[in-house]
Amino acid sequence: MNGRNIIVDGSDDGYANGANNKALTQADIPNDFAMVGSFSLNDSYGGQVLAANPAVPNVTVSLSNYTNNLPNSFSPTPIPVAGSLGPSCTSRRSSRATWLMSARWSPTSRPPSPLQRREGGHAAPRYKVVYDPTFEITTTDFTPYVINMRKAGVKILFIEQMPENYAAAVIKALNQQNFHPVVVLGASTYSEALISAAGGPSA
Protein backbone atom coordinates (compact mmCIF):
# COMPACT_ATOMS: atom_id res chain seq x y z
CA MET A 1 0.00 0.00 0.00
CA ASN A 2 1.74 3.16 -1.26
CA GLY A 3 4.97 1.16 -1.37
CA ARG A 4 4.66 -0.17 2.17
CA ASN A 5 4.01 -3.71 3.33
CA ILE A 6 0.94 -4.04 5.54
CA ILE A 7 0.98 -6.85 8.10
CA VAL A 8 -2.39 -7.94 9.46
CA ASP A 9 -2.30 -8.87 13.13
CA GLY A 10 -5.62 -10.64 13.68
CA SER A 11 -7.41 -11.24 16.97
CA ASP A 12 -10.76 -12.79 17.82
CA ASP A 13 -12.65 -12.14 21.06
CA GLY A 14 -14.91 -15.09 20.23
CA TYR A 15 -17.99 -13.28 21.56
CA ALA A 16 -16.61 -14.50 24.88
CA ASN A 17 -16.93 -11.45 27.11
CA GLY A 18 -16.16 -7.76 27.29
CA ALA A 19 -12.98 -8.28 29.31
CA ASN A 20 -11.60 -10.48 26.54
CA ASN A 21 -12.34 -7.81 23.90
CA LYS A 22 -10.72 -5.11 26.03
CA ALA A 23 -7.62 -7.22 26.75
CA LEU A 24 -7.09 -8.05 23.06
CA THR A 25 -7.44 -4.40 22.07
CA GLN A 26 -5.01 -3.37 24.79
CA ALA A 27 -2.49 -5.99 23.66
CA ASP A 28 -2.67 -4.83 20.03
CA ILE A 29 -2.39 -1.08 20.69
CA PRO A 30 1.43 -1.01 21.26
CA ASN A 31 2.13 -3.00 18.08
CA ASP A 32 -0.40 -1.81 15.49
CA PHE A 33 -0.91 1.62 13.94
CA ALA A 34 -4.62 1.06 13.20
CA MET A 35 -7.59 -1.18 13.98
CA VAL A 36 -9.49 -2.39 10.92
CA GLY A 37 -12.31 -4.77 10.03
CA SER A 38 -13.69 -5.38 13.51
CA PHE A 39 -17.27 -6.46 14.22
CA SER A 40 -18.11 -7.44 17.77
CA LEU A 41 -20.98 -7.38 20.23
CA ASN A 42 -18.36 -6.43 22.82
CA ASP A 43 -16.72 -3.49 21.05
CA SER A 44 -17.71 -0.97 23.72
CA TYR A 45 -15.05 -2.56 25.96
CA GLY A 46 -12.31 -2.22 23.35
CA GLY A 47 -13.62 1.29 22.78
CA GLN A 48 -12.41 2.25 26.26
CA VAL A 49 -8.87 1.43 25.14
CA LEU A 50 -9.31 3.35 21.87
CA ALA A 51 -10.59 6.38 23.79
CA ALA A 52 -7.35 6.40 25.77
CA ASN A 53 -5.34 6.13 22.53
CA PRO A 54 -6.86 8.78 20.22
CA ALA A 55 -3.95 8.61 17.75
CA VAL A 56 -4.93 5.03 16.76
CA PRO A 57 -7.59 5.05 14.00
CA ASN A 58 -10.39 2.52 14.35
CA VAL A 59 -11.79 1.67 10.90
CA THR A 60 -14.48 -0.82 11.90
CA VAL A 61 -18.20 -1.47 12.05
CA SER A 62 -18.98 -0.50 15.64
CA LEU A 63 -22.20 -1.65 17.28
CA SER A 64 -21.52 0.48 20.34
CA ASN A 65 -22.58 4.14 20.26
CA TYR A 66 -19.70 4.88 22.64
CA THR A 67 -17.10 3.43 20.25
CA ASN A 68 -18.87 4.67 17.14
CA ASN A 69 -18.77 8.26 18.43
CA LEU A 70 -15.04 8.33 19.23
CA PRO A 71 -13.16 10.90 17.10
CA ASN A 72 -10.73 8.19 15.98
CA SER A 73 -13.50 5.77 14.88
CA PHE A 74 -14.41 5.63 11.19
CA SER A 75 -17.17 3.17 10.36
CA PRO A 76 -17.89 2.14 6.75
CA THR A 77 -21.53 1.70 7.82
CA PRO A 78 -22.21 4.19 10.65
CA ILE A 79 -25.13 3.53 12.96
CA PRO A 80 -27.83 6.03 11.94
CA VAL A 81 -29.28 8.18 14.71
CA ALA A 82 -32.85 7.16 13.94
CA GLY A 83 -32.26 3.81 12.29
CA SER A 84 -33.88 2.58 9.09
CA LEU A 85 -37.53 3.54 9.12
CA GLY A 86 -38.67 1.98 5.83
CA PRO A 87 -39.90 -1.38 7.20
CA SER A 88 -41.60 0.30 10.16
CA CYS A 89 -43.40 2.89 8.03
CA THR A 90 -44.54 0.23 5.56
CA SER A 91 -45.86 -2.00 8.35
CA ARG A 92 -47.65 0.92 9.99
CA ARG A 93 -49.41 1.87 6.76
CA SER A 94 -50.51 -1.70 6.15
CA SER A 95 -52.60 -2.00 9.30
CA ARG A 96 -54.52 0.20 11.69
CA ALA A 97 -53.97 -2.26 14.53
CA THR A 98 -51.51 -1.81 17.35
CA TRP A 99 -48.20 -3.42 16.47
CA LEU A 100 -46.60 -5.07 19.48
CA MET A 101 -42.87 -5.28 19.12
CA SER A 102 -39.94 -7.12 20.61
CA ALA A 103 -36.17 -6.64 20.36
CA ARG A 104 -33.21 -8.73 21.43
CA TRP A 105 -29.46 -8.42 21.58
CA SER A 106 -26.55 -9.74 23.58
CA PRO A 107 -26.37 -8.33 27.11
CA THR A 108 -22.59 -8.14 27.16
CA SER A 109 -22.40 -4.68 25.60
CA ARG A 110 -26.04 -3.74 25.10
CA PRO A 111 -25.68 -1.52 22.02
CA PRO A 112 -28.77 0.57 21.26
CA SER A 113 -31.57 -1.64 20.04
CA PRO A 114 -33.30 -1.09 16.70
CA LEU A 115 -36.29 0.13 18.68
CA GLN A 116 -34.26 2.69 20.60
CA ARG A 117 -32.72 3.99 17.37
CA ARG A 118 -36.14 4.25 15.76
CA GLU A 119 -38.06 5.90 18.58
CA GLY A 120 -38.79 8.93 16.42
CA GLY A 121 -40.32 6.76 13.73
CA HIS A 122 -42.37 4.85 16.27
CA ALA A 123 -43.88 7.92 17.89
CA ALA A 124 -47.34 7.04 16.57
CA PRO A 125 -49.51 5.32 19.20
CA ARG A 126 -49.96 2.23 17.01
CA TYR A 127 -46.54 0.96 18.17
CA LYS A 128 -45.86 -0.45 21.61
CA VAL A 129 -42.83 -2.35 22.90
CA VAL A 130 -44.08 -5.26 24.99
CA TYR A 131 -41.07 -7.54 25.33
CA ASP A 132 -37.44 -6.39 25.46
CA PRO A 133 -35.28 -9.09 27.09
CA THR A 134 -31.57 -9.86 27.14
CA PHE A 135 -30.02 -13.32 27.02
CA GLU A 136 -26.82 -14.95 28.21
CA ILE A 137 -24.14 -15.32 25.55
CA THR A 138 -24.16 -19.10 26.23
CA THR A 139 -27.89 -19.41 25.37
CA THR A 140 -28.73 -22.11 22.82
CA ASP A 141 -32.45 -22.65 23.49
CA PHE A 142 -34.75 -19.66 23.00
CA THR A 143 -38.01 -21.50 23.68
CA PRO A 144 -38.78 -19.57 26.92
CA TYR A 145 -38.34 -16.27 25.05
CA VAL A 146 -40.62 -17.40 22.24
CA ILE A 147 -43.31 -18.49 24.72
CA ASN A 148 -43.13 -15.10 26.45
CA MET A 149 -43.37 -13.28 23.11
CA ARG A 150 -46.45 -15.26 22.17
CA LYS A 151 -48.06 -14.49 25.54
CA ALA A 152 -47.26 -10.79 25.04
CA GLY A 153 -48.86 -10.79 21.58
CA VAL A 154 -45.70 -9.77 19.72
CA LYS A 155 -46.19 -9.11 15.99
CA ILE A 156 -42.83 -7.60 15.04
CA LEU A 157 -39.59 -9.27 16.10
CA PHE A 158 -36.15 -7.67 15.78
CA ILE A 159 -33.15 -10.02 15.74
CA GLU A 160 -30.91 -7.55 13.94
CA GLN A 161 -27.86 -7.95 16.18
CA MET A 162 -27.88 -11.73 16.36
CA PRO A 163 -25.13 -13.77 14.69
CA GLU A 164 -26.27 -16.80 12.70
CA ASN A 165 -25.94 -19.33 15.53
CA TYR A 166 -28.34 -17.37 17.74
CA ALA A 167 -30.72 -16.41 14.93
CA ALA A 168 -31.00 -20.03 13.77
CA ALA A 169 -31.86 -21.12 17.32
CA VAL A 170 -34.57 -18.45 17.52
CA ILE A 171 -36.10 -19.53 14.21
CA LYS A 172 -36.09 -23.15 15.38
CA ALA A 173 -37.87 -22.19 18.59
CA LEU A 174 -40.44 -20.09 16.70
CA ASN A 175 -41.33 -23.05 14.47
CA GLN A 176 -41.33 -25.60 17.29
CA GLN A 177 -43.83 -23.42 19.16
CA ASN A 178 -45.81 -22.72 15.96
CA PHE A 179 -45.50 -19.00 16.63
CA HIS A 180 -44.94 -16.77 13.62
CA PRO A 181 -44.64 -12.98 14.09
CA VAL A 182 -45.96 -10.99 11.13
CA VAL A 183 -42.60 -9.26 10.60
CA VAL A 184 -39.13 -10.51 11.51
CA LEU A 185 -36.20 -8.16 10.84
CA GLY A 186 -32.71 -9.62 10.97
CA ALA A 187 -30.08 -7.63 9.10
CA SER A 188 -27.10 -9.16 10.91
CA THR A 189 -28.15 -12.79 10.49
CA TYR A 190 -26.53 -13.11 7.06
CA SER A 191 -24.74 -16.43 6.70
CA GLU A 192 -24.62 -19.28 4.22
CA ALA A 193 -25.30 -21.60 7.16
CA LEU A 194 -28.40 -19.77 8.43
CA ILE A 195 -31.04 -21.60 6.37
CA SER A 196 -29.68 -25.08 7.01
CA ALA A 197 -28.99 -24.37 10.69
CA ALA A 198 -32.50 -22.99 11.17
CA GLY A 199 -34.13 -26.14 9.82
CA GLY A 200 -34.09 -25.72 6.04
CA PRO A 201 -36.01 -23.52 3.55
CA SER A 202 -39.40 -24.39 5.04
CA ALA A 203 -38.31 -22.82 8.34
- The reply to whether 203 falls in a domain is no
Domain count within the chain: 2
More reliable by pLDDT, 61 or 171:
171
Whether 66 and 137 map to the same domain: the answer is: no
How many residues are there in the chain?
Answer: 203
Higher pLDDT, 88 or 158: 158
pLDDT at 203: 87
> pLDDT of 142-200, one tens digit each?
999 999 999 988 888 888 767 788 889 999 999 999 999 988 877 656 678 888 999 99
CB 24 within 8 A of CB 11: yes
Q: At which of 79, 103, 133 does a domain end?
A: 79
Same domain, 55 and 146: no
Helix (H, G, I), strand (E, B) or coil at 175: helix
- What is this structure's pTM? 0.56
Residues 100 and 35 in one domain: no
What is the domain extent for residue 37? 1-79
